[in-house]
């Protein structure tokens, strides 16, 4: 039963990584930039939800919705103010800016909400489910997390394959110049992707804090880095890749913690990244780029 | 009044002066071609008219209205389409989705209607409508790129090297299609390295050399011109 419990926890943690990784991978796919501030949007999402529930006393559903709206706006504003002016700049400048935005968000959070950790109350307030005469305990948050991840995956897949805006997004990610010739406004499309990614980060933040209920200004950084690792393992730019990488990474992390040692778990996670990149440089589901003349 | 009027156009890539005071006009219903060697500034000129590149000085007018400063994504709504060099179809999208992108700014009804027109003109695209564009041959990709540009119902269709990298029989086919498009009422501005083909279908032509217009005339005149024959038609 221990194995099964670990597997469930791994898939649940992995689902959170997957939701964060989707944001990384979509932004990379279209803006060709690594938004290292993405993890900190998760933290902001957590705080918005925490304040809405604890300080204002709103019901969890409303708090989560507020958090999504807040982060979506934050994503659009950050893109407009920090990244859009650098559209023609070398990618290193954009990368450094993203790191700057990350520190800016963390320190603003420190200033506004203080350094002491907040005890996050889970948004799902129901008792654990016991199976097999109580030998296996599954927390409802785990179930909701996995379901949310599946729903988001299905939703995004349908969006990018069936809708006009979704197809335009893929067109932009392949060739911005040609997309403009079609009449697609590339700036609007990039804004939209940041909005979607940041909204997803809010959901991930709420779910993460519901499972690991310590909220502080640095809460988002390590999960952010791990989700980035997951996106790279799955093949950055690929939506199914992000989901696969996220779930794999979550399972590996929980198993490493359970059977090898908590201290080594993070090292093992990043070692997996190195191994995958050695064998498949484009990631598990990433495409090798063929240039056709 | 000319449909497209470009006057004293100057375009730079960083410090490189790529287009040096180019002027030309395209009348409604014409096929006009810009010919010249690699690096003469032909593609740069087209890309600037399409709004993908910024001009330093000069003017571009379409139907009496200045195009300077208008972003590329607004051109198709004005009636200007560019079928870019190297085709640049969306490899990951299906043939049908590529066509639909060409009519991005149009209503769903218009998309369906234009798709019919394009499939009639390019039956091969109908056969392959569910295939990813990346799996098409070079000739098919060129047809897709032209069909996609047609989807937006342009008044002026700019074609950049449509014959590049194609077998001679396909080159003939592509030029036949250009003529048909023109007969259907689309004005054509064509950039080509295949000068003989381009001149044979063009009403008027401009010869570009290192960023300047050096000669102009009707297609037939330039086909007989000694200088042009020596430089571009192999004597």
Q: In chain B, which residues have their Cβ closer than 8 Å to the Cβ of A186? A: 73
More confident residue, A203 or B235: A203
Question: In which band, very low, low, confident or very high, does the pLDDT at A293 lie, cut at 50, 70 and 90?
Answer: very low
Is A2 a residue whose pLDDT tops 90? no
User: Measured between CB atoms, which of B77, B92, B134 is closest to A183?
Assistant: B77
Probe site for chain B from A176, A182, A240 (most B CB atoms < 10 A):
A182
Q: Indicate the fold that domain A2-114+123-279 takes in CATH.
A: ABC transporter involved in vitamin B12 uptake, BtuC (1.10.3470)
Sequence-distant (6+) residues with CB within 8 A of A110 are A217
Q: In chain B, which residues have their Cβ closer than 8 Å to the Cβ of A175? A: 88, 90
Contact criterion met (CB < 8 Å) for A167 and B101: yes
Give me the residues of B, 65-124, that contact A with CB < 8 A: 71-77, 81-82, 84, 86, 88-93, 97, 100-102, 104-105
User: Measured between CB atoms, which of A167, A175, A185 is closest to B88?
Assistant: A175
**pTM for the whole thing?**
0.91
User: Can you give the residue ranges of every domain in chain A?
Assistant: 2-114+123-279
HEC string for B173-235 = HHHHHHHHHHHCCCEEEEEECCHHHHHHHCCEEEEEECCEEEEEEEHHHHHHCHHHHHHHCCC
| CA-based torsion, B91, B93, B96, B101: positive or negative | negative
- Give the residue from A182, A143, A102, A134 showing the smallest Cα distance to A11: A143
Structure tokens at A269: 């996670």
Is A147 a residue whose pLDDT tops 50? yes
Report d(CA B223, CA B232) in Å as an integer. 10
More confident residue, A281 or B46: B46
Give me the pLDDT at residue B235, please. 66
Return the percentage of chain A with pLDDT > 90, whole number: 80
Question: In which band, very low, low, confident or very high, does the pLDDT at A129 lie, cut at 50, 70 and 90?
Answer: confident
Backbone φ and ψ for B114, nearest 5 degrees, come out as -70, -35
Contact criterion met (CB < 8 Å) for B100 and A168: no
CA distance A178 to chain B (A): 6
**Across B142-147, average pLDDT:** 96
Question: In which band, very low, low, confident or very high, does the pLDDT at A291 lie, cut at 50, 70 and 90?
Answer: very low
Range with lowest mean pLDDT among A127-141, A263-277, B50-64: A127-141
pLDDT in tens, B8-27: 999 999 899 999 999 999 99
CA-nearest residue to B79 within chain A is A183
How many pairs of residues across A and B have Cβ atoms under 8 Å apart? Answer: 70
Give me the pLDDT at residue A225, please. 94
Give me the pLDDT at residue A132, please. 79
Give me the pLDDT at residue A99, please. 96
Is A289 a residue whose pLDDT tops 70? no
Return the percentage of chain A with pLDDT > 70, whole number: 98
Across chain A, what does the average pLDDT equal? 92
């Amino acid at each position: 039963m221990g194995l099964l419990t670990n597997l469930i926890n791994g898939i649940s943690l992995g689902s959170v990584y997957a939701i964060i990784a989707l944001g990384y991978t979509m932004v990379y796919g279209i803006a060709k930039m690594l938004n290292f501030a993405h993890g900190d949007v998760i933290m902001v999402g957590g705080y918005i939800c925490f304040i809405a529930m604890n300080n204002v006393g709103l019901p969890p559903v409303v708090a989560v919705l507020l958090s999504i709206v807040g982060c979506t706006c934050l994503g659009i504003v950050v893109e407009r103010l920090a990244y859009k002016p650098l559209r023609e700049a070398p990618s290193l400048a954009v990368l450094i800016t993203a790191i700057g935005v990350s520190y800016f968000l963390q320190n603003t959070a420190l200033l506004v909400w203080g350094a002491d950790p907040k005890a996050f109350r889970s948004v799902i307030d129901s008792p654990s489910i016991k199976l097999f005469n109580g030998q296996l305990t599954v927390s409802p948050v785990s179930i909701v997390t996995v379901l949310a991840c599946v729903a988001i995956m299905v939703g995004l897949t349908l969006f990018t394959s069936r809708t006009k805006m979704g197809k335009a997004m893929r067109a932009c990610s392949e060739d911005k110049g040609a997309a403009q010739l079609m009449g697609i406004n590339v700036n609007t499309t990039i804004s939209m992707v940041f909005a979607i990614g940041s909204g997803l980060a809010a959901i991930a933040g709420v779910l993460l804090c519901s499972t690991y209920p310590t909220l502080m200004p640095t809460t988002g950084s390590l999960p952010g880095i791990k989700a980035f690792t997951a996106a790279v393992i799955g093949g950055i730019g690929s939506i199914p890749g992000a989901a696969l990488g996220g779930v794999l990474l979550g399972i590996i992390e929980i198993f490493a913690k359970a059977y090898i040692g908590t201290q080594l778990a993070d090292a093992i996670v990043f070692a997996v990244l190195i191994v995958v990149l050695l064998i498949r440089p484009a990631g598990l589901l990433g495409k090798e780029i063929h240039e056709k003349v | 009044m000319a449909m497209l009027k470009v006057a004293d156009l100057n375009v730079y890539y960083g410090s490189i002066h790529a287009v040096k005071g180019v002027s030309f006009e395209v009348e409604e219903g014409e096929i006009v071609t810009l010919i010249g060697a690699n690096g003469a500034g032909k593609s740069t000129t087209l890309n600037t008219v399409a709004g993908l590149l910024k001009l330093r000085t000069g003017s571009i007018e379409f139907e009496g209205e200045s195009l300077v400063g208008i972003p590329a994504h607004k051109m198709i709504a004005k009636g200007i389409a560019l079928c870019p060099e190297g085709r640049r179809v969306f490899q990951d999208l299906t043939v049908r989705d590529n066509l639909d992108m060409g009519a991005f700014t149009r209503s769903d009804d218009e998309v369906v209607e234009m798709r019919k027109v394009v499939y009639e003109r390019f039956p091969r695209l109908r056969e392959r409508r569910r295939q990813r564009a990346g799996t098409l041959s070079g000739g098919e990709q060129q047809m897709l790129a032209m069909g996609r540009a047609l989807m937006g119902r342009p008044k002026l269709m700019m074609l950049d090297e449509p014959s590049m990298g194609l077998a001679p029989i396909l080159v003939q086919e592509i030029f036949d299609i250009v003529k048909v498009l023109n007969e259907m009422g689309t004005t054509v501005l064509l950039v080509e390295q295949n000068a003989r083909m381009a001149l044979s279908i063009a009403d008027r032509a401009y010869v570009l050399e290192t960023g300047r217009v050096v000669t102009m005339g009707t297609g037939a005149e330039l086909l007989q011109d000694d200088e042009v024959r020596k430089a571009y038609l192999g004597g």
